[in-house]
């Protein structure tokens, strides 16, 4: 059985062709170099901007693509199929929408054109040492001083931490108010007092730069506040659903591609006078993977349609993220086993997926947090 996908329009599928060609031409040949460097070169970001692959859902008047989440989902899917690891999605579909939704007209005119062009690369700084996913426990502070905010604190596990030009910093503007004292402030990385720490050495996703960030009396204009003061927690809760759902979109596509590659491998790999495919265990394991892939694709496409109609709830996003990443990890583990020793060699896509995809159960809110969100309405 193959899932007949009806969630995308013709313009989406035409866009898929553009994305696929760009990845094949500009990204796949550079992936090994990015893995060695621990960062994606800036020229690729600029090329993606020129091709219209950044901020596809943002309005055209600010340089965006004028599309919808379906265009963003296609980019995520095609990256998963191609085995390309570059954080366009974080920039375009997680951070930039905060500016588009909450920013004043002046802020949007000032920042979004360069963001859409790849000239200004975005990051978001939420996680702190010892704090994890607990936004309410944030200890980074921003104190108003005349026409400026003065920011002090530190963040860790920040994707795009080294390549970013602007960081959306989650900070306490009223430390005594808990969740009701959180604000979002945009900080340009050339500000005095801003400092990047060490580049963190992750288990996987080596081409995506991840860093510690430090803010020592960093002064930014009062106009860098995004939205209203002390309303940041609510803003985050509203927009985190899309971040979590993108993870589910990627997981569904990744399983499909890895299944194709594993079937090809076991039918070619010789063992005990036949091929690995000849063993009943192999066929049964891959039947389980396919059943999981079909079920997951059906679920993700349903929620994708809901999100494109702006009806996806936070609980549904948590369900999608939890189920997709748990299924993905089980399927990857089974397919590594079918590769034998080669499944542990990084030149094989399954091994790269093994080290890259484990974090999907952690980032975007750990799966334990997803379970907590789901049980609130039980």
Q: How far apart (Å, rounded) are the C-alpha atoms in residues 245 and 279? A: 37
Catalytic residue among 243, 260, 316, 326: 243
Question: Does the annotation count 243 as an active-site position?
Answer: yes
**What 3 state SS string does the chain have?**
CCCCCCCCCHHHHHHHHHHHHHHHHHHHHHHHHHHHHCCCCHHHHHHHHHCCCCCCCCCHHHCCCCCCHHHHHHHHHHHHHHCCCCCHHHHHHHHHHHHHHHCCHHHHHHHHHHHHHCCCCEEEECCCCCCCCCHHHCCCEEEEECCEEEEEEEEEEEECCCCCCEEEEEEECCHHHHHHHEEEEEEECCCCCEEEEEECCCCCCCCCCEEEEEEEEEEEEHHHEECCCCCHHHHHHHHHHHHHHHHHHHHHHHHHHHHHHHHHHHHHCEECCEEHHHCHHHHHHHHHHHHHHHHHHHHHHHHHHHHHCCCCCHHHHHHHHHHHHHHHHHHHHHHHHHHHHHHHCCCCHHHHHHHHHHHHHCCCCCHHHHHHHHHCCC
Strand partners, 324: none
Active site residues: 243
């Amino acid at each position: 059985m193959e899932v007949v996908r009806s969630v995308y329009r013709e313009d989406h599928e035409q866009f898929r062709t553009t994305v696929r060609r760009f990845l094949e031409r500009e990204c796949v040949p550079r992936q090994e170099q990015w893995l060695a460097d621990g960062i994606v070169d800036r020229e690729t970001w600029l090329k993606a901007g020129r091709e219209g692959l950044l901020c596809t859902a943002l309005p055209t008047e600010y340089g965006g693509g004028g599309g919808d989440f379906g265009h963003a989902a296609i980019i995520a899917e095609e990256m998963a199929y191609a085995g390309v690891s570059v954080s366009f999605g974080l920039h375009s579909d997680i951070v930039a929408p905060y500016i588009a939704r909450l920013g004043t007209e002046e802020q949007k005119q000032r920042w979004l054109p360069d963001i859409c062009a790849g000239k200004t690369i975005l990051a978001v700084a939420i996680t702190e040492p010892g704090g994890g996913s607990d936004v309410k426990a944030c200890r980074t502070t921003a104190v108003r001083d005349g026409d400026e905010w003065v920011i002090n604190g530190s963040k860790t596990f920040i994707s795009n931490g080294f390549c970013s030009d602007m960081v959306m910093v989650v900070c306490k503007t009223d430390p005594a108010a808990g969740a009701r004292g959180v604000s979002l402030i945009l900080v340009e990385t050339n500000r005095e007092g801003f400092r990047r720490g060490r580049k963190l050495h992750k288990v996987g996703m080596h081409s995506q730069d991840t860093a510690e960030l430090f803010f020592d009396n960093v002064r930014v204009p009062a106009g860098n506040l995004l939205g209203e003061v002390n309303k940041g927690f609510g803003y985050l809760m509203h927009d985190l659903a899309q971040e979590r759902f993108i993870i589910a979109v990627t997981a569904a596509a990744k399983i499909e591609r890895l299944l194709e590659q594993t079937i090809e491998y076991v039918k070619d790999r010789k063992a005990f006078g036949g091929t690995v495919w000849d063993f009943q265990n192999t066929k049964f394991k891959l039947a389980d993977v396919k059943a999981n892939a079909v079920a997951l694709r059906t679920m993700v496409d349903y929620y994708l349609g809901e999100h494109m109609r702006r009806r996806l709830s936070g609980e549904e996003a948590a369900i999608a993220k939890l189920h997709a990443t748990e299924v993905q990890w089980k399927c990857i583990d089974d397919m590594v086993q079918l590769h034998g020793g080669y499944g542990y060699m990084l030149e094989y896509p399954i091994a790269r997926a093994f080290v890259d995809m484990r974090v999907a159960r952690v980032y975007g809110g750990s799966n334990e947090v997803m379970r907590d969100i789901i049980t609130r309405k039980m």
